Amino acid sequence: MYLYSFTFYIFSLVAVLSALMVISAKNPVHSVLFLILSFVNASGLFILLGAEFLAMILVVVYVGAVAVLFLFVVMMLDINFVKLREGFLQYLPFGALLGIVLIIELGILFLTKSFSENSLTNFVQLPQINDVENTKLIGKVLYTDYFYLFQISGLILLVAMVGSITLTLRDRGNVKRQNISSQNFIDANNAIEKKKVKLGEGI
């Protein structure tokens, strides 16, 4: 029990600190790296809750795709972040107002006494713990009841991917391409020209 609580507080503390560093870091690359760290700690919290499927999806989809893609976009695009921060003071009052409203809502949520376990059981049916993991249950439902819909969605995504590649692919005539077969069957006598160079004269 103590190990579970200690692990929960460690993951929560690192997740909150990394989330704060995402919005406070001046370098956008550092912000993305802290975002990845926050996602990893959130997946650790999901594992502690017994939702290993959500933890896997969080790591594979968000860390492996979205965050890494955003990192490459930030690194490849030459964005002038100084100009982006010039209008920060204009939106500061509006952002502060939204932050105050959010803090008030969270305070009402945490300080109220109506959200107790007895009141929640009257409206929400608590989930029953099963011996089978939730990943197996989701896979069983997904590949039995919704098998055709799952295959159709995968086919739609495949067509969209092929279409995007086709639309963005442009044939450039002046681009030099490597011909591996001609390089393998090249004759060394025709490709290399030997010259005898005297010392101090050069070619």
The pLDDT tens digits of the residues spanning 85-104 come to: 666 677 778 778 877 887 88
E strand intervals along 70-117: none
What residues does each domain of the chain span?
7-79, 133-168
Collapsing DSSP to helix, strand or coil, 202 comes out as coil
* pTM > 0.75: no
Computed from CA positions of residues 29, 31, 37, 42, in that sequence, does the dihedral angle turn out positive or negative? Answer: negative
At residue 143, what is the residue type?
Y
Across the chain, what does the average pLDDT equal? 76
CB count in 10 Å sphere of residue 11: 19
What is 7-79's CATH number, 3.40.50.720, 1.10.10.10, 2.40.30.10, 1.20.120.1200?
1.20.120.1200
